[in-house]
Chains A and B, each alone.
Chain A
């Protein structure tokens, strides 16, 4: 049995203005994620990739379809039942600057999910130390404020917060796209290490094929609310079948002058052949 199954998921947002028609952003998405697996979800802005993540987290309400976690339907859960899921499904957001409350210490931020689930203050504090160690932050970080840390360090705090309740699934919503190049690679390595140790599964949302290729076992490509291609990471990110994925791949410039020249030619031919 898969850890997470998404079936025919539809999401609509209310239209802007008075009596505007709702606007559907996902038109029936099927996905599944196994235990300890990373599913990369690639798409451009407006593709609905972030919305899938938010639907899994219960932050947006689907207008149709089902989301099952460990066999249990979760998309309709509200209130207490939904909050109970918090120890199983967690999140790391894109922007490390706004995902941590600027007025709370790192210790309080990390203890919050633990205390909610009934941990004593002392247990929480010792668990927080373990978590900080786990994500490679010094233990004196506990009494400091988010503004004292760099983007990469903050993202480590956010990862520690997600790990705190010992989840089975973490939704990673563009977790490295706001980070510098050198930090990006280190945070991705950390995520892979954590997965190997704990067996947590990732739903990894990104616009960047290179990032997705680096961390995913399988990849799904999304275009304007529809899934266009799903398959193992190597195939989808290197030799894709669908024209949109091919276009996406050819559009990303490669960091090598000669290869990029070749890619540019390839792209020109590809565009000429499709129009």
Chain B
């Protein structure tokens, strides 16, 4: 971990700056020319460059350089106390609050929520009778005020890890609670804590300086705050007195913040970068298909290639040379195992590949129009109107903050431009058509108030609202229970007949294919290995991979017949 951190230029630079500053501070008793409080009345407001007083002296005739060096120590001690208390309290409470029972959890949660809502600096001031103004005691209390930050991180990670199956597996293996916390939990929270500690050290130093600036605590303690305060009073007589402590304080806090940022990038990996919304898919090359060659199919995909950048920027192709065509009213099954590229192919047709994805070759023509390279606005007339989409996971595909009806109405209006009232009528009729028994009620429900099967009916209603010519369904029944799956399948089949839609059905389930598809394309690691009509693919698969897949199906007739094994050791 440390090697990784030191290889990062920003982390290395800020760490070196901090190391130099704090080592000089630690050596202050040895290298400082004067004591921090040694006042020489003859040197009051001595200018920069005075012999023995390289940075000058302050309003009491104290050497500024010496005071700066000693102030670094005060800052270091403040950061150390504040951060260690915060980490100790936060980690303990986070482990306890995350791992143990509900009562302990809600109690710690309540306590830390309370701690978080206390106005920090104000509280430290009110607590002066307790601390006596001593900056170490103050920073000790401040540690508690910082602790909620660490607590939140640890608790959230623990809650996440606790529900991980590997922690259950460890418990089943006979590991006690503390071994589980130590082995499986602490190793994961270490990184985020180091990052948070860097920011907290900065906050502690700034807060201590602020309090010293106000004059809280002993005047004997050299600190940036006290120096800034004295420099501020003297600003018009000797402006540099204000400059030095401000500069050093600025450098230290900036280094800590930048270090924290660098640590976050190196330890947590770079987060996804935002891209311009609606700018369309990234296309580096397309294959030109002359218009006269364009066949009469509704959708024609030629030589499609899709790639994702790897860690060092090279492109890894996940889809290669895919050719597909779907005729009007035809149901094409796109079958393959995970990682075969079937969903990527479907997404590229809809123009919704993730922003990292790159189209490296090919052409996707829908009704004689080239779809690759269009942005969201250019696709607006096609998507939702002529091509529609049914997703795999019903719940995550509904916006949790809007009522079901409002979401559907927005889609209908975007696609057809009808009035609000008309759209509402249409949506209610569609919900009814899609087998929802109380359309009004579902219309007014939020997504979390309806079941998964119901949500999938809602999404199907949304997709067929504009009577599209092509429906792209990505594993539309996989997330559902078997009995619900059959009902959804019935609904889909009825709608297909009624609306004469073509379908690109992405699935891994051959049962689904047998039920609904006219033709099948089999994909393996980014390539299509076989295309044919459904009957013949099942009856006489030509490609070895298709045969292997069909053979793997656990059919109706294989029932286990061998009796339970009686092993000699069974009674021991």
> Which of B166, B481, B552 is A44 in contact with, Cβ under 8 Å?
B481
In the complex, A66→B565 CA distance in Å? 26
How far is A237 from B554 in the complex, measured between Cα atoms in Å?
13
Any A CB within 8 A of the CB of B184: yes
Q: Confirm or deny: B7 has a beta carbon within 8 angstroms of a beta carbon on chain A.
A: no
Return 20 A-B CB contacts under 8 Å, by A number.
Answer: A35-B570, A36-B565, A57-B168, A57-B172, A87-B174, A93-B169, A161-B173, A181-B337, A185-B552, A199-B566, A211-B554, A213-B554, A213-B556, A214-B554, A250-B486, A253-B486, A255-B513, A255-B550, A257-B514, A257-B538
Does B6 make an interface contact (CB < 8 A)? Answer: no
* B553 at the A interface (CB under 8 A): yes
Chain B positions within 8 Å of A6 at CB level: none
* CB-based contact B482/A252 at 8 Å: yes
In chain B, residues 170-196, which have Cβ atoms closer than 8 Å to a Cβ of chain A?
A: 170-176, 179, 183-184, 187-188
Minimum Cβ distance to chain A for residue B49 (Å)? 56
The answer, yes or no, to whether B515 is at the interface (CB within 8 Å) is yes
Interface residues of A in 73-89 (CB under 8 A from B): 79, 83-87, 89
User: Do A216 and B560 touch (CB < 8 A)?
Assistant: yes
Asked if A251 contacts B567 (CB within 8 A), the reply is no
A58, B172: Cα distance in complex, Å: 8
Question: Residue B77 at the A interface, CB < 8 A?
Answer: no
Stretch at the interface among B63-71, B137-145, B504-512: B504-512
Neighbour of B567 across the interface among A103, A161, A199, CB < 8 A: A199
A136 CB-CB contact with B under 8 Å: no
Min CB distance B513 to A, Å, is 7
Stretch at the interface among A23-31, A112-120, A122-130, A137-145: A112-120
Distance from A237 Cβ to chain B, minimum over Cβ atoms (Å):
7
A79 vs B188: C-alpha distance in the bound complex, in angstroms?
25
- The residues of A that contact B538 with a CB separation of less than 8 Å are 255-257
Q: Give Cα distance in the complex from A208 to B478, angstroms.
A: 12
Ranked nearest first, the 8 interchain pairs of A and B with the lowest CB-CB distance are A199-B567, A253-B511, A86-B174, A255-B510, A36-B565, A113-B173, A251-B486, A99-B165
Residues of A within 8 A of B567 (CB): 35-36, 198-199
Cβ of A90 under 8 Å from chain B: yes
Q: Which residues of B contact A113 (CB under 8 A)?
A: 173-174
Q: Is B485 in contact with chain A by the CB < 8 A criterion?
A: yes
CA distance A207 to B337 in the complex (A): 20
- Could you tell me if A214 and B560 are in contact, using CB atoms closer than 8 angstroms? yes
- Check if B555 is an interface residue, CB within 8 A of chain A: yes
* Residues of chain A at interface, number, CB under 8 A: 78
Q: B164 on the interface (CB 8 Å rule)?
A: yes
Say whether A196 contacts B482, CB under 8 Å. no
Is B119 part of the contact surface with A, judged by Cβ < 8 Å? no
Contact A255 B514 (CB under 8 A): yes
A residues 158-209 near B (Cβ < 8 Å) are 158, 161, 165, 168, 180-182, 184-185, 188, 192, 195-196, 198-199, 201, 207-209
The interface on chain B, measured as residues whose beta carbon lies within 8 A of the other chain's beta carbons, has a size of 56
Which B residues touch A85, using CB under 8 A?
Answer: 174
Contact A83:B508 (CB < 8 A) given known A36-B566, A100-B166, A180-B337: no
B564 lies within 8 A of A34 (CB): yes
Binary per-residue interface labels of chain A (45-56) against chain B in the complex, 1 for a CB within 8 Å, 0 otherwise: 100000000000
Question: Given the complex, which residues of B lie within 8 Å of A91, measured CB to CB?
Answer: 168-169, 172
Q: Are A101 and B564 in contact (CB under 8 A)?
A: no
| B549 CB contacts on chain A under 8 angstroms | 181-182
Min CB distance B269 to A, Å, is 13
CA distance A79 to B178 in the complex (A): 12
Majority SS at the chain B contact face: helix
Contact of A228 with B by CB under 8 A: no
In this complex, the member of A209, A238, A254 whose beta carbon has the largest number of chain B beta carbons within 10 angstroms is: A254
Q: Is B338 an interface residue (CB 8 A)?
A: yes
Question: B165 to A213, Cβ gap below 8 A?
Answer: no
- With A91-B169, A180-B337, A214-B554 known as contacts, the answer to whether A255 contacts B560 (CB < 8 A) is no
Cβ-based interface call for B562 (8 A): yes
By a CB distance below 8 angstroms, the chain B residues around A260 are 511, 514-515
**Contact yes or no, A254 B514, CB < 8 A:** yes
CB distance from B529 to the nearest CB of A (A): 14
Q: Does A68 contact B (CB under 8 A)?
A: no
Which A-chain residue is minimally distant from B548 (CB atoms)? A182
Residue contact B559 to A101, C-beta cutoff 8 Å = no
Asked whether B554 lies within 8 Å of A199 as measured between CB atoms, the reply is no
Whether B283 sits at the interface, judged by CB under 8 Å, is: no
The answer, yes or no, to whether A147 is at the interface (CB within 8 Å) is: no
In-complex Cβ contact of A247 among B102, B165, B483, B535 (8 A): B483
Contact A184 B554 (CB under 8 A): yes
Q: Are B338 and A254 in contact (CB under 8 A)?
A: no
- Whether A251 pairs with B511 at a CB distance below 8 angstroms is no
Expressed in whole angstroms, the minimum distance between the Cβ of B519 and any Cβ of chain A is 12
Looking across the interface, which residue of chain A has its beta carbon closest to that of B452?
A45
* Contact between A196 and B560, CB atoms less than 8 A apart: no
Query: With a CB–CB cut-off of 8 A, which chain B residues contact A259?
Result: 514, 556
Which of B508, B512, B548, B552 is in CB contact (< 8 Å) with A253? Answer: B512
B169 touches A83 (CB 8 A): no
Whether B172 and A86, one on each chain, are in contact in the complex, defined by CB atoms closer than 8 angstroms, is: yes
Find residues 512-553 in chain B having any chain A CB closer than 8 Å to their own CB: 512-515, 534-535, 538, 548-550, 552-553
Tell me which residues from 259 to 300 in chain B have a Cβ below 8 Å from any Cβ of chain A: none
In the complex formed, the residue of A with least CB distance to B545 is: A182
Q: Is A229 located at the chain interface by the 8 A CB criterion?
A: no
Docked-complex contact B102 and A35, CB < 8 angstroms: no
Choose one: B171, B535, B552, B555; the contact of A181 (CB below 8 Å): B552
* Contact partners of B535 in chain A: CB under 8 A: 257
Interface: B569 (CB within 8 A): yes
